[in-house]
Amino acid sequence: MKKLIAACIIVWLFGAGAPAQEKPDKANPLFTAQPGPPAPAVPPGWEALLKASAPGPYHKLMEPFVGRWKAEGRIRRAASDETVLVEGTASNTFIFGGRYLKMEFTGKFMGQPLTGMGFMGFDNARREFTSVRFDTLSSGFLFAAGTVSADGKTFSLRGTYKDPLTGKMRELREETAIEGPDRIVSRSFEGTPGGGDEFRSMDVVYTRIK
């Protein structure tokens, strides 16, 4: 009896006892291929928005950053401080059709794990490069914006942040130079906004991992 019930269930599941489906009548206009509706026209004024959202030649200048990199650098908080070693691996990829560069970092700083992430792009409306970064050494975002040299090899960005130890605003200037297809050097300078006390706070060398 159980075998009979199981056989009935199998027949029901796989449709062995289902009635044959009726073939569509090709003469019926419902089954005749009809051309689709025409593509909607772009509303007036939207052409400029679509153009401004498309990646262009300035986005292409970020292509050399794409890939996996070995990072080695030195960091200090004040001009009189000794530098501290930071090392790890960076992985950079283009996202959203080449509009933004996604940057990820994993490594060690003073013997502790360090993880960071950032995004960089070119704002077609503001006509400047913009970036945002965050890591496990902070609890806030670091925003920066700037330009690129005439040869497209050196990116200069500036930003500000609030020093959690002093409660004062700090100004950050970053110079990142593409020295070759397999080598990138980034140097950072910090100081009090308008204070004239800028010092070199970080040097990082990135070597491509092949």
pTM of the model: 0.76
Tell me, what's the pLDDT at 70?
98
**Residue 93 phi, psi dihedral angles, 5° rounding:** -140, 150
Pick the most confident of 2-11, 40-49, 110-119.
Answer: 110-119
158 pLDDT more than 50? yes
Topology of domain 60-208, CATH: Lipocalin (2.40.128)
pLDDT classification of 12: cutoffs 50, 70, 90? very low
Give 14-51 pLDDT, tens digit per residue: 344 444 444 545 555 544 556 666 766 778 778 888 88
Residue whose pair of structure tokens reads 């050494």 in the numeric block: 137
Give 121-155 pLDDT, tens digit per residue: 999 999 999 999 999 989 999 999 999 999 999 99
| Chain centre to alpha carbon of residue 190 | 25
The strand ranges marked E within 27-99 are: 67-75, 84-95
Cα torsion at 174, 58, 72, 203 (round to 10°)?
-20
205 pLDDT more than 70? yes
Give 89-102 pLDDT, tens digit per residue: 999 999 999 999 99
The answer to whether 116 and 131 are in contact (CB under 8 A) is no
Angstrom distance (rounded) from CA 160 to CA 143: 7
196 pLDDT more than 70? yes
Tell me, what's the pLDDT at 194?
76
